[in-house]
Amino acid sequence: MRVLLVCLGNICRSPTAEGILRHKLEQAGLADRVEVDSCGTGHWHLGKTPDRRARAAAARRGFDLSALRARQLDDSDFQRFDYLLAMDHDNLLALEARRPPDCQAHIGLFLDFAGYEDKAVPDPFFGGARGFEEVLDLIEAGADGLIATLRRRLETSP
């Protein structure tokens, strides 16, 4: 099973989601069955580490984002991943616009898995520390819901 988490620049929300999801998958004993990656729809931060504020906020909760590097969405991602999950509506629209006709992946909002129907993870880039804490709260809930869905799907697959 492969999951791709998508935001605009791949330095705040999606790498935070990648780090948290990987950590929680390890705790759930599913790390060897689920591959996780993140990317941005934009190209501004290619190869950069996550934003220092995102790294610091995540570290305070025990999540290490230091090894992650920003990359941009590639057309091959639509074939490589089973789930392409956007952090907000604009990035969801970008995914849908680039979706090839033969794509079988689930494309949707990350927070749909937290039961927050049609809710976006807000971009904390231009805000203060509280914005990064809110993002962590939302992403932890999304990761927990996604793991429950993935566990059910993995239990029914051969």
Domain boundaries, the chain: 2-153
For the domain 2-153, what is the CATH code? 3.40.50.2300
Active site residue 13: yes
Catalytic: which of 77, 80, 123, 137? 123
- Is 103 among the residues known to form the active site? no
- Residue from 12, 13, 39, 51 carrying the catalytic annotation: 13
pLDDT > 70 fraction of the chain, expressed in percent and rounded:
99
Helices 129-156 + 52-60 axis angle, to 10: 70
Q: Is 82 a catalytic residue?
A: no
According to the model, what pLDDT value does residue 158 have? 65
Among the listed residues 7, 39, 51, 71, the single catalytic one is 7
pTM score = 0.96
Judge whether residue 129 has pLDDT over 90.
no
For 78, the token pair is 């639509």
pLDDT digits (tens, 9 = 90+) for 91-107: 999 999 999 999 999 99
Long-range contacts: 115-124, Cβ < 8 Å, 24+? 115/141, 115/145, 116/141, 116/142, 120/87, 120/88, 120/89, 121/7, 121/13, 121/17, 121/87, 121/88, 122/88, 123/7, 123/8, 123/12, 123/13, 123/87, 123/88, 124/12, 124/13, 124/53, 124/54
Q: At what angle do helices 52-60 and 13-27 cross, to 10 degrees?
A: 30
